[in-house]
Structure 1
């Protein structure tokens, strides 16, 4: 059964958020600017990869403690994951934070040319230093509001490691840590400001291990059964499959074990790793079966055997019309981040390192006319936009299958900056990044408070969530028995 993840199926409330409440919560966020920008910069300076975010998670936990949250660390059996909770009774609003980074993207701050801090080192090429800090800042503002107004309800900051290919939220979902959550809110750095569309790909990362028989490649080639040949035939088969799968699906592969370095030995083992993506979770399951069949065929042709091992996976994002409309109302009242001429001049320096294709791609994704003269976003994206095929995967998707979820983009860097680039890393500590981060924290916090004050909005969101998923079983793309790819397990 198809899941329409983007079109709302319930009528959202059209009432405007209370302006006095918005001003109060936004002022609270603004007042906490300095410590949370410092937290973001400190995490930027200690970039750590999947499940190895020791220093970053420690800094997040220290800030949670300083802000007076009840903290539980090591949730879902993940040492660098945590939950900080505040409030009593009432609905539970989860605010999701991340703090992992990417390999090979080390870069000096504010420098508009490639200049690594450490050759081959890590870098925050997706802005997760901003993401985790602003999420915690928003949760702290909600905590303050609940206490001052003595409102029932709980806000939880979820410290979620390993989004970049580690899929930690899928393991957290499997462990049940979101089971009693009513609404989940997240954000992500971007070139534009707007509600994030429910437009991502479900995915699975799978190892295919082939086993054959070694032999002397010259003296007795007839006795060998090459596992590497089976890998190559599998890759050929999958490449032919591309013509016969949905255009929105994606398949990528990497040969991770060729079975040895000597061409004079028939390789008795070989492994290829596939990343398989599809628009919806049911479609992913079907596509994985087709790739499995190709692996079986390749093994049969070469007279080898094979086994497959699911490593990790994401579900696609499930949208929520009432939540998105509510967040959009907040965005339109707040407006875009308050960038000034100095910010625009800063961003223009980095735009000079980009191609026109970079710029066009940034605008095309949101169905916007290209403006090569605009360095920063000075508007709010419309709520309903053309549906782009140029999308990726996120482990927030798995959360959205079990909890009504809404997200916002925060404009934190020059328009056209490619994701996962040295240019994005370089802009991660700038005033532009800080302003966009504070802006996202304001929207996240005020949306959470709005929902806590109006349980009927939560009820609307839950009703739509049930309607979207009616008749569709959630099968976590991370099966039972699969463990997180901790660094010492690699």
Structure 2
């Protein structure tokens, strides 16, 4: 596609900016956790209908998942959105000090209010472009819940939701703008339930078998294992059930939840087997029993060079987001709550030389930037094993802001966040239009996809017998929809 076509799609994004800024702000104001995003998905479904999409609710039998489609025939390009929040991050907007709206409440500490709204903004612009130019093709917006440890896209993949999709596009809020380096950690989240025997801790301690002892011994064993695993792997745990608060009772039950991450599925599955052996050893030492239960899982991201090059071309054509003095002044106040290490680390993560005193992004970071050492997990990774996928990072907050922090929540409704969201929507929409206008680009992406995965069969990290925790919430979703 020639550069002269870019402003057409950018104009269509700009035409709907106020609608989608408002959607993002409404979702920010109703932060909901994994599989509880009933009001948020209702807002997205209503916006899809208002914009003329064909809407499917309850995608993959998940009440808080939604899909909107527009267009006829031709290739199918999906734009992925999210809208789940995080616990304990409630924070007033627009101030640079810790001030929860609700003590202990939820907050959008990863910017998913922006993510979903920006993706839907891009999908709407592409819909309008296809109509205006009479192009064959279908654009879909997938509203995906529960990315924060819920792995909803993995369940959606298992249900076949993406089977007929040709290309998937997404983005994520960040301090800088550029094509996402396609490196993430495969992961499994798994509960280890220990069962023992209760007894009086003073009168008959010899008759008890402590499940809590088993949990503690397991944690010690895993901590010793850290020296003997790849440096890029990560293991985290939380004791979710201590078996009670009475110290004079030997705890008959206890549960610890582990999150195991590694560079790829094979490496992660190897670590999982080792952690299970440690759990079995802890049970043996304490004469308890242990039962493991996988809760969720994400595959590592699969890159796609043709798509990444195409998205980078769109970024270069558009340039970095444009912020004003008011945006920079607020971002500078946020930076005053951070350390120099926070700021320097933020630059380094995106392959950029640190520049102190620069509060907001003013450049496009280079492709394949950073060393990939400090990355997390995403359920977009599972999608990328099924369909050629590309993501970008959109500059929406002050450089140095930690993810999953109150500072990020405080910036979630700021004008700079809106500008960064619109910038990302333009890049995603431009990338999609390029693909619709030149089917050879789609074929090149598919060829790259096939070559990367040749001889590597995909195994969904979510077992077939694990279901998303949605059954008890269906009535609530129906109540919101009505």
Question: Which 4+ stretches in 1 moved above 3 angstroms?
Answer: 486-489
**CA–CA distance in structure 2, aligned partners of residues 223 and 333 of structure 1:** 73
Structure 1 residue 264: deviation in Å? 2.4
Alignment partner of 1:235 is 2:189: no
Alignment partner of 1:222 is 2:206: yes
Structure 1 residue 406: deviation in Å? 0.2
The C-alpha deviation readout for 1:353-372, integer Å capped at 9, x for no partner, is 11111101101212221111
**CA–CA distance in structure 2, aligned partners of residues 230 and 102 of structure 1:** 30
**Structure 1 vs Structure 2 CA RMSD:** 1.2
Query: Which secondary structure state, in structure 2, belongs to the residue aligned with residue 85 of structure 1?
Result: strand
Say whether the 8 Å CA contact 1:50–1:486 is kept in structure 2. Answer: no
Alignment partner of 1:58 is 2:27: no
Within-5 A mapping of 1:283-432? 283-432=267-416
Single out whichever of 152-161 and 360-369 deviates more from structure 2.
360-369
- When residues 80 and 317 of structure 1 are mapped into structure 2, their CA distance, relative to the original with a 3 A threshold, is same
**CA–CA distance in structure 2, aligned partners of residues 123 and 222 of structure 1:** 47
Aligned to 1:42: 26
Alignment partner of 1:110 is 2:101: no
Within-5 A mapping of 1:73-472? 73-472=57-456
Query: Which secondary structure state, in structure 2, belongs to the residue aligned with residue 446 of structure 1?
Result: helix
Single out whichever of 359-368 and 315-324 deviates more from structure 2.
359-368
Query: Which secondary structure state, in structure 2, belongs to the residue aligned with residue 25 of structure 1?
Result: helix
The C-alpha deviation readout for 1:56-99, integer Å capped at 9, x for no partner, is 11111111001100000001111110110001111100000111
**CA–CA distance in structure 2, aligned partners of residues 355 and 304 of structure 1:** 46
Output the TM-score relative to the length of structure 1. Answer: 0.94
Query: Which secondary structure state, in structure 1, belongs to the residue aligned with residue 385 of structure 2?
Result: helix
**CA–CA distance in structure 2, aligned partners of residues 209 and 286 of structure 1:** 21
Query: Which secondary structure state, in structure 1, belongs to the residue aligned with residue 292 of structure 2?
Result: strand
Say whether the 8 Å CA contact 1:188–1:410 is kept in structure 2. Answer: yes
Say whether the 8 Å CA contact 1:366–1:388 is kept in structure 2. Answer: no
**CA–CA distance in structure 1, aligned partners of residues 356 and 340 of structure 2:** 8
Say whether the 8 Å CA contact 1:87–1:146 is kept in structure 2. Answer: yes
- Structure 2's unaligned 5+ residue stretches are 474-482
Structure 1 residue 487: deviation in Å? 8.7
Say whether the 8 Å CA contact 2:351–2:365 is kept in structure 1. Answer: no
Query: Which secondary structure state, in structure 2, belongs to the residue aligned with residue 402 of structure 1?
Result: coil
**CA–CA distance in structure 2, aligned partners of residues 357 and 305 of structure 1:** 45
The C-alpha deviation readout for 1:147-167, integer Å capped at 9, x for no partner, is 111111100000001111211
**CA–CA distance in structure 2, aligned partners of residues 265 and 354 of structure 1:** 44
Structure 1 residue 42: deviation in Å? 1.2
Query: Which secondary structure state, in structure 1, belongs to the residue aligned with residue 401 of structure 2?
Result: coil
Structure 1 residue 178: deviation in Å? 0.4
Structure 1 residue 255: deviation in Å? 1.2
Aligned to 2:476: none
Say whether the 8 Å CA contact 2:352–2:365 is kept in structure 1. Answer: no
**CA–CA distance in structure 2, aligned partners of residues 275 and 205 of structure 1:** 4
Output the TM-score relative to the length of structure 2. Answer: 0.96
